[in-house]
Amino acid sequence: MTKILVGLKRVVDYNVRVRVKNDGSGVETDGVKMSINPFDEIALEEALRIRERGDASEVIVISIGTTEAQQQLRTGLAMGADRAILIDSGDAVDALTCARALLAIIEKEQPNIVLLGKQAIDGDNSQTGQMLAALWGRPQATFASEVVLDGEKARVTREVDIGLETIEIDLPAVITVDLRLNEPRYVKLPDIMKAKKKPMEQIPLAELSIDPSPAIKQTTFAPPTDRKRGVMVDDVAGLIAALTDKGLL
């Protein structure tokens, strides 16, 4: 049975203005709308399209974090995933711990493809997919804008600094997706109701024998400094003078 495993991370919705807590200990999440990381939503949409083309028989969504992530997994089930797995860590984990937890589930489920967003919009680290591929010992294709399956291989078009790059990798593999891969489908009310009956497995992180201690500890958070107001100039001479005043020329 061909399986696709898709990672979904719970993040502050991209339409919400992020605010730092008054004590600088983190980002304010109380009363804030939370959603699936947009890149992960694109990854799920691609997995569903692959299944609909007949190239996969099962799509599994997985999240690692607190029990509140069940909400995002239910959304994934409503979009069309067959079942869900929640690794309950009790708290947020770093990228390496996340990769190790994903590997434990991979060894159990034996998926042909692992689809992840290229990065999460909260940390913007872009690390989990690469770490997972290294730990798994399987090929990776990052920043995918097109994925074409051909038997035991995948042809992936990647977005790189100089344009587009197309590579071919053997499966099983890790693929991280970019924004231009597809546009996720809208979830309809009947699908939300059906999702409540789909299976969701909960596994404590401790059962996977993984040390959740982060290699890097975040000590304080601070908002970016306010931008200074721009200066209007009338001509090139005025521009040169303004830049000279600022010590840029």
Query: Kindly report the CA angle at 98 between 170 and 150, in degrees rounded to 5?
Result: 15
Range of the domain at 91: 3-223
Residue 16 has pLDDT above 80, yes or no: yes
110-163 pLDDT, tens digit per residue, is: 999 999 999 999 888 899 999 999 999 999 999 999 999 998 999 999 998 889
45-100 pLDDT, tens digit per residue, is: 999 999 999 999 999 999 999 999 999 999 999 999 999 999 998 888 889 999 99
Residue 1 has pLDDT above 70, yes or no: no
pLDDT for the residue numbered 226 = 83
Determine the Cα–Cα distance for residues 129 and 56; give it in Å rounded to an integer.
Answer: 21
219-244 pLDDT, tens digit per residue, is: 888 888 888 788 888 899 889 988 89
Instruction: Name the band, by pLDDT with cuts 50, 70 and 90, for residue 102.
Output: very high
Residue 21 has pLDDT above 90, yes or no: no
Residue 119 lies in a domain: yes
Residue 234 lies in a domain: no
Residue 237 lies in a domain: no
**151, 184 Cβ separation under 8 angstroms:** no
Structure tokens at 189: 């009310």
Residue 92 lies in a domain: yes
Three-state SS at 227:
coil
CA dihedral 8, 11, 15, 16 (to 10 degrees): 170
pLDDT for the residue numbered 25 = 77
pLDDT for the residue numbered 29 = 81
Structure tokens at 72: 């995002």
Residue 187 lies in a domain: yes
Residue 228 lies in a domain: no
Q: How far is CA 184 from the centre of its chain?
A: 14
Residue 79 lies in a domain: yes
Rounded alpha-carbon distances, angstroms, from residue 183 to 20, 43, 49, 186: 31, 10, 11, 9
Residue showing tokens 């919705």:
13
CA dihedral 32, 211, 98, 53 (to 10 degrees): -120
Please state whether beta strands 140-150 and 200-204 pair in parallel, antiparallel, or not at all (unpaired). unpaired
pLDDT for the residue numbered 246 = 82
Total domains present in the chain: 1
Please state whether beta strands 173-177 and 140-150 pair in parallel, antiparallel, or not at all (unpaired). parallel
CATH number of the domain within which 145 lies: 3.40.50.620
Residue 240 lies in a domain: no
Residue 200 has pLDDT above 60, yes or no: yes
pLDDT for the residue numbered 225 = 84
